[in-house]
Amino acid sequence: MRNLDHLNQLLAAARRAGADQADALLGTAASLSVSRRMGKIEEIERAETNNIGLRVFVGKRSAIVSSGAVDPTSFDRLAEQAVAMANVVPEDQFAAIPDAPPPEDVAPLDMDDAVEPSIEILMARAAAAEEAALACPGITNSEGAGASWSRSHVALATSRGFAGAYSRSSHGLSVSPIAGSGVGMQRDYEYSSAVHAGDLTDPAAMGRAAAERAVSRLDPRRPGTAKLPVVFHPRVAGSLLGHFSAAINGSSIARGTSFLKDAMGKPVFAPGISIIDDPRRVRGLRSRAFDGEGQRVRRMALIEDGRLTTWLLDQRSAAQLGLKSTGHASRGTSGPPSPAASNLYIERGTLSPAALMADITLGLYVIELIGMGVNGITGDYSRGAAGFMIREGQIAEPVAEITIAGTLREMFMHLTPADDLEFRRGTDAPTLRVEGMTMAGG
């Protein structure tokens, strides 16, 4: 493949310049997007990018250079710049380029939709979503609707024998209607992302769902302070998994800056809870054929029956902890690898969302979170929220301008998943119920 040929040329240039080891990453991308509001097209944008990056090692010293132009005539200059930089930076005892793993036969991931949609198709998707929203009683305005497509290609080669490449496509659709008028207006949204266009949510159904939710949020109240169960809608429930994955990131563990730094092998969630990272899920939004260092990737249970089983590790963080990489290195062309999850999800529970909240006398149903008041060192959690009260097991009046607070350790241990898991966001969770949080309002 041409991209791998370019990377091999760049690695050869690095050797000539005096590098002991090197790896090179090339990324190309094309994207097309349209946006409209109140029936009028506001923006049509197409972009194409090419980026190439080189990381070199001279002994234990390393440096990275990158370029937005993939030009073989410039490779010697790039390599010389990288080596010159590496010669003057401090040594790093832990960074290294890992050996290439043995070849393996793996099932295809079906990550590339071969059909590129036209501008007209994207316009039609956005129009169907917004028109369905505007047709709902109570909807008075719109923040707009948008549709997008992109395709990217990633190629990686290392001086330790790895060479690989893969392509990925992405289709997106969003809509945000407004209900009410004046200072009493409320908005809501729906969005859908998929590798293949056929897996997108129906645009009209999205528009209606967003509109109905916007109308249901009119005339919100500010409840008083209370300690109560909080139920997270799936579109915000995944944020709790994001906080968990950040807490088991190998870089944070190596620095000692995570509230879970001493939790390996211990209960972190309630018994029966499993959290999975699966980079090999077919048509997964974050699936990948290999990690950012050319290492094998595989499905892993990060939490099994409530217990923490592993950190997320790249080569450097693994070396710091005296462990082996878990294949979670992620990177771009201009920076070093760092650990990151892929298709992350919590396995579904056994109760429907209605059954999950049926015994709640007084609770809160959260559909929107605001701000980032989470301390990764202590696990303290405090975020703005909006949603609905739960009364006698039923969703009741809308509420807004409230804060929910707790500690992630306690929240994780008192978390129960519903059975409505859908793979829509890359980090996915069903409806989640968390006991004993503090709600502060008016």
- pLDDT the model gives residue 156: 97
Bridge partners (DSSP) of residue 50 are 28
The three-state secondary structure class of 334 is coil
> Residues 175-195: what's their mean pLDDT?
95
Q: Residue 214: pLDDT above 90? A: yes
Question: How far, in Å, CA of 442 to CA of 400, rounded?
Answer: 10
pLDDT reading at 103 higher than 90: no
Question: Among 19, 34, 26, which residue's Cα sits nearest to residue 86?
Answer: 19
- Convert the pLDDT of each residue in 246-273 to its tens digit: 999 999 999 999 999 999 999 999 999 9
Note the pLDDT of residue 442.
58
pLDDT for the residue numbered 160: 95
Nearest Cα to Cα of residue 214 among 128, 132, 147: 132
Q: How far is CA 270 from CA 99, 266, 274, 300, 413, in A?
A: 38, 11, 9, 19, 5
Over 90: is that where the pLDDT of 194 sits?
yes
Beta strand 362-370 pairing with 226-232: parallel
pLDDT at 371: 86
CA 437 to chain centre: 25
Name 65's Cβ contacts closer than 8 Å, sequence gap at least 6. 53, 54, 78, 81, 82, 85
Of 100 and 1, more confident? 100
**% of the chain exceeding 70 in pLDDT:** 100
pLDDT digits (tens, 9 = 90+) for 158-169: 999 999 999 999
**DSSP secondary-structure letter at 117?**
P
Q: Write down the H helix ranges in 321-392.
A: 353-357
The pLDDT value recorded for residue 197 is 97
The CATH number fitting domain 119-216, selected from 3.30.1130.10, 3.40.50.620, 3.30.2290.10, 3.40.50.1110: 3.30.2290.10
Structure tokens at 103: 């070849």
Mean pLDDT for 42-71 is 96
What pLDDT does residue 182 have?
86
Residue spans of alpha helices (H) in 45-99: 75-86
Q: Which of 439, 432, 437, 429 is nearest to 384 (CA)?
A: 439
Q: What's the burial of 318, exposed, middle or buried (CB within 10 Å: 0-12/13-18/19+)?
A: buried
Buried b (16+ CB within 10 A) or exposed e, 88-127: eeeeeeebbbbebeeeeeeeebebbbeeebeeebbbebbb
Domain ranges of the chain: 2-32+41-86, 119-216, 220-442
pLDDT at 24 (0 to 100) = 97
**Per-residue pLDDT at 107:** 86
What pTM value is reported for the model?
A: 0.94
Q: How far apart are CA 267 and CA 303, in angstroms?
A: 9
- pLDDT given at position 286: 96
Largest Cα–Cα distance in the chain? 73
Tell me the pLDDT tens digit for each residue of 123-149.
Answer: 999 999 999 999 999 999 999 999 999
- Could you tell me the pLDDT band of residue 1, with boundaries at 50, 70 and 90? low
* pLDDT tens-digit map of 408-433: 999 999 999 999 999 999 999 999 99
Contacts of 177 (CB under 8 A, 6+ apart): 130, 133, 134, 136, 139, 141, 142, 143, 187, 188, 207, 210, 211, 214
- Give the Cβ contact number of residue 365 at 10 Å: 24
The per-residue pLDDT of the chain, averaged, comes to 96
